[in-house]
Structure 1
Amino acid sequence: MVMPVPDSISSALPITLRQFQQLITLSEAGSFRRAAEQLHLAQPALSVSIQKLEQAIGVRLVERGARGARLTAAGLAVVDEARSALFHARQARQVANLVATGAWGTLQIGFVSSAIHDLLPRIVDAFRLQYPDVRLILQEDSTAGVLQQLKGRELDAGLVRSPFTQDPVLQSWVIQTDDLMLLVPAGHRLAHWRRIRLAECRDEAFIMNGSTRAPGVHSVARGLCHAAGFEPRISLEAIQVQTMLGLVANNMGIALVPAVTRHHHADRRVRFVALDDPGARGCIALSLVQRLDNDSALARRLHECVPVA
């Protein structure tokens, strides 16, 4: 039976999880006295609370009689929903705590292709070992692309090649330094050299990282050539190291690439030659980058798993 409760009253009265729990207890106890004892409440206080719940919903939920309390059909329907609401409330509390401590959620990481060889797998393995319930989304891009997405809040963290132009909204940590090596076709005149001075390459056509998408590595490579006494003749620009490998393998030029590349590519069409130039050693790095205002516990947990140099 619908209670004569105006809409203005029912809409103004709140419904609480405490009232839901009280109604569930009442349905199981069968009387206000027993329910009040189980809830450690005074019986009149429980009765008033249930009346307020009925007013808020707008229908009678409990038939009160000499033999106890019996839920109406509407009351039984509300009990089912109340159990569901309490379950979801507990779930929400648990999820919130897990997310707040960095043990659950989604973490989006951008990375450059050269991070795949060693660093990214080690970081992902270490993170998954400690936080198996966190979903990782990995997205490959150039250094410039990763930094742009970080600034736009599309990523939580990035692994990029440095040096790069510092941005006031970002913070970075150098994780791993690396040398630059010369990459030449297998049939090139320098292919059988073990070490070389970059000055020997002054007449060669260079394939370099793009000045827009990887400006830091591009600048370092050109700087090495300038230190060796020449302006490099750049025939092609590429974004990914894998692309540079393919171009060199097809005799389209020579390239300066991270030394870590040598250990993860077995293409017999190319050769890696160490550089004797002092500036080639430790001149590039892989860095972890995040927004300064990123207060995500997941981002902090990722930082803890990264072996910062």
Structure 2
Amino acid sequence: MKIPETPSTVEQLDLMKRLEQHAEGQATWLPDTTPLGTNSKKACRQLHTQIIKIVDRVFASILDRVTARELDTFTMHDRRHGLKVAHLMWHILSSERRATLTPPEIGMLVLSAHLHDAGMALSKEQRTARLAPNSDLWEFAEVNDTVKRSLDNLRLSVQDSTLAEPKRRRVEAELFQAEEALLALDTRDRHARRERYVELISEITQYHDKDRARIPDIEECLSFDGDSFKEKLVEVCVSHNQDADVLVEQDKENFGHPRFPRDYPVGSSTTDLQLVAAALRLADILDFDRERTPSVLFHYLIPGSLRLGDEIRVG
């Protein structure tokens, strides 16, 4: 199967087109094909509108300011990545499963595609805070005292007023590269922790409070039919950076219940959280192409029997 070109906007995604059909009453997720009522269609329209707003006005700009530049050596994590992951999610599902996708499933698929890597974005202030001496970066990155002393020496050298300008520029470049390498290590792990997602959602809430006309209320965006799925969305995003066996593990807080139930109630519908988490994981892995991946890495990681000019299809 050849995957079609990724749409350029969130509303053009097949997942969103399906949600639009629900909102218009042209499709139903109900097994007996019962037509949707007015309230259900209204809830679908609300979710559709809010997803477009939060992606276009918030997530897209956040993803575009991912600043751990060492990550560029690996793969891109900009707004196109979010669209590609959501696009791939639709295409890895069977046609039968696409037909029964519920509104909260669609919402969580599209939103997890855009939220899961948003924690990689660091503002200038956050970058400075992560590199501060009292930051837990040094603990999590397992930086030894020798490396810390070397960084301190580089910082002192940059501040030395007697240092010749050519040498100063060289030292500044060395310091910058060292700091970016540390941030890359830190961000790779930290971006998918629950605490980071909570921090990010809190920041978006603050943006909304400052500009309610432009920035949507993220609490409303992460809900369907008056019922929030925020906590479960965060759980799904956390799982994408963990081992695959978390998809079948038990809920640590609710003994005897799965961590990702397949019939989790959200509003007037249910959500297969295991499907959402698995789709995010697979689609994220499958977003590996020339546009996102540096040519050198792409060359060494594609199967040896393929040439760079060959067409690569996902079966």
TM-score bracket for the superposition, by shorter chain length: under 0.3
Structure with more of its chain in strand, by fraction = 1
TM-score, normalisation: structure 2? 0.24
Name which one, 1 or 2, has greater alpha-carbon Rg. 1
Structure with more of its chain in helix, by fraction = 2
TM-score, normalisation: structure 1? 0.24
For CA contacts below 8 A with separation 6 or more, give which structure has more relative contact order.
2
